[in-house]
Amino acid sequence: MTARLMILNGPNLNLLGIREPEIYGSGTLDDIEELCAETAAKHALEIDFRQSNHEGDLVDWIQDARDGFAALIINPAAYTHTSIALHDALKTVSIPIIEVHISNPKEREAFRHQSYVGLVATHTIAGRGASGYAEAIEIAAKLI
Ligand code: DQA
């Protein structure tokens, strides 16, 4: 069976391309999904790519990743810095967890310096733009 990667995206990432392009670039989330699908295909991996503005959806999907997925890639967006619920859900997952940020939160406002997700992630990639997602898939491919 082809190994599958769960790729989750948090709030406001549906507005990539429109939202603060000077920080996040002009590409859309659809462009990122295409990049992920192409990168995964090179490693004979499949992706399940999802986005939600709702914390509970992300908790449910992290729980879904516990079954039938080889790795979890997540850009939790603003929930990175606030969500103990995502942190706790991620602690129940035994597959590799790769945290991705398009920008580098550690070089931005102080309130972005704390990551509750980073505390439980296997790897964190930040500040590499959309290509950070491709890097995350490359890392996942090595780990699984
Ligand atoms: C982000 C960084 C977060 O601080 C921010 O809230 C986002 C996007 C990133 O991809 O750079 O929404 O996760």
The predicted structure's pLDDT at residue 1: 78
The 8-class DSSP code of residue 66 comes to T
Residue showing tokens 């406002």: 109
Residue 16 contacts residue 69 (beta carbons within 8 Å):
no
The predicted structure's pLDDT at residue 34: 98
What residue numbers bound the domain in which 132 lies? 1-53+117-144
Residue nearest to atom 12 of ligand 1 (CA): 77
Tell me if 75 CB under 6 Å of ligand 1: yes
- Rounded to an integer, what distance in angstroms lies between the CA atom of residue 29 and that of residue 43? 21
| Number of domains making up the chain | 1
The predicted structure's pLDDT at residue 55: 98
- Closest residue by Cα to residue 73 from 130, 8, 120: 8
Q: Per the confidence metrics, is the pTM higher than 0.95?
A: yes
d(CA 100, ligand 1 centre) in Å? 9
- Closest residue by Cα to residue 127 from 21, 23, 15: 23
Residue 107 belongs to some domain of the structure: no
The predicted structure's pLDDT at residue 123: 98
Q: Which residues are catalytic?
A: 24, 101
Residue 96 belongs to some domain of the structure: no
Tell me if 141 CB under 6 Å of ligand 1: no
The predicted structure's pLDDT at residue 111: 97
Tell me if 118 CB under 6 Å of ligand 1: no
Please, is 45 exposed, middle or buried when counting C-beta atoms within 10 Å of its C-beta (0-12, 13-18, 19+)?
buried
Each residue's pLDDT tens digit in the chain (144 positions)? 799 999 999 999 999 999 999 999 999 999 999 999 999 999 999 999 999 999 999 999 999 999 999 999 999 999 999 999 999 999 999 999 999 999 999 999 999 999 999 999 999 999 999 999 999 999 999 999
The 8-class DSSP code of residue 79 comes to G
The predicted structure's pLDDT at residue 97: 98
CATH number at residue 3: 3.40.50.9100
Residue 86 contacts residue 117 (beta carbons within 8 Å):
yes
Residue 5 belongs to some domain of the structure: yes
Residue 101 belongs to some domain of the structure: no
Residue 142 belongs to some domain of the structure: yes
The predicted structure's pLDDT at residue 139: 98
Residue 36 belongs to some domain of the structure: yes
Residue 71 belongs to some domain of the structure: no
Exposure string (b/e) for 70-104, b if CB count within 10 Å is 16 or more?
Answer: bbbbbbbbbbbbebeebbebbeebebbbbbbbbbe
Residue 87 belongs to some domain of the structure: no
d(CA 2, ligand 1 centre) in Å? 30
